[in-house]
Copies of this chain bind each other. A is one copy, B any other.
Amino acid sequence: MEPRCWPDGAPDRCALSTERLPPLSKGMALWRPGDDYTGSYLVRSGALKIVAVDVAGDEQVLHFALPGDLIGLEAMAPGRHDSLAVTLEESVLCRVRWPRNGAASDPPMQLLLRASRNLHQRFGSGRHAEPLAATRAFVRAIAQQIGREERRGAARVIRLQLPMSRLEIGQYLGYTEETVCRALRRLHQLGELDVKGRIVRMPAAEAADACAEQSTSAAAR
């Protein structure tokens, strides 16, 4: 019944290594925000929660990890954890590691990096309680991906064209078209951004604290 950490027959090609960790008791932190990424983990038994803690101290659970799950992959691309992983009960884990630069040119490894970025994005776009905060985070995330920097006099602004409608943003964030519309308007009134249809302009500084990640993503391209 207990799944093996890794197939026994798997050779050590591609410099992949697994290492069994001593059992973690309930409530132990596997990693904390800011920790360097040192490998991913396979859950052998037990359970963990991956939580994002915001500045207000509110906790949002991003994922529950159960036996068989691979966790921590989302930190591979940025090289650093920005979430907190805590055991919900006594758990046994295996750490999976490989050299950071060694196999970087390996095609499957490239795919893994992309997958890591995917996971990281999905983790970042968690469910916010308020439509205003959710919409703000959404626009900033999009801005980081497709925004172009413009000079507007002395100020640097990010300009972008949203590819999707208000309705589709709502279908993504879990709100209605009207709520998204009102949230955008409120953000405009707060001076955080300038909206005209699907064209959005915002100060470059605003867009910067969206996730503050993806330094490696440019190199990956």
- Chain B residues with Cβ below 8 Å from A69 are 114, 117-118
Closest to A172 in B: B61
Given A108-B112, A109-B108, A115-B115: A174 and B129 within 8 A (CB)? yes
Which of B70, B96, B105, B146 is in CB contact (< 8 Å) with A66? Answer: B146
Most buried by B among A13, A64, A98: A64
Given A73-B118, A118-B119, A146-B66: A14 and B106 within 8 A (CB)? yes
- Complex Cα spacing A55 to B88, Å: 35
- The reply to whether B60 and A171 form a contact with Cβ atoms under 8 Å apart is yes
Interface residues of A in 1-34 (CB under 8 A from B): 3-4, 6-7, 9-10, 13-14, 16
- Chain B residues with Cβ below 8 Å from A106 are 13-14, 108
A158 CB to closest chain B CB, in angstroms? 14
Which of B49, B64, B111 is in CB contact (< 8 Å) with A40? Answer: B111
**Can you tell how many copies of this chain the complex includes?**
2
- The reply to whether B73 and A14 form a contact with Cβ atoms under 8 Å apart is no
Total count of chain A residues near the partner, CB < 8 A? 62
- Chain B residues with Cβ below 8 Å from A89 are 163
- The reply to whether B118 and A16 form a contact with Cβ atoms under 8 Å apart is no
Please encode chain A, from 81 to 119, with 1 for each CB lying within 8 Å of some chain B CB and 0 for all others: 000000011000000101000010111111110111111
- The reply to whether A70 and B9 form a contact with Cβ atoms under 8 Å apart is no
A37 CB to closest chain B CB, in angstroms? 14
A133 CB to closest chain B CB, in angstroms? 12
- Complex Cα spacing A204 to B172, Å: 31
- The reply to whether A111 and B96 form a contact with Cβ atoms under 8 Å apart is yes
Given A16-B107, A16-B108: A174 and B70 within 8 A (CB)? no
- The reply to whether B7 and A73 form a contact with Cβ atoms under 8 Å apart is no
Tell me, yes or no, whether A142 is within 8 Å of chain B by CB.
yes
Tell me, yes or no, whether A145 is within 8 Å of chain B by CB.
yes
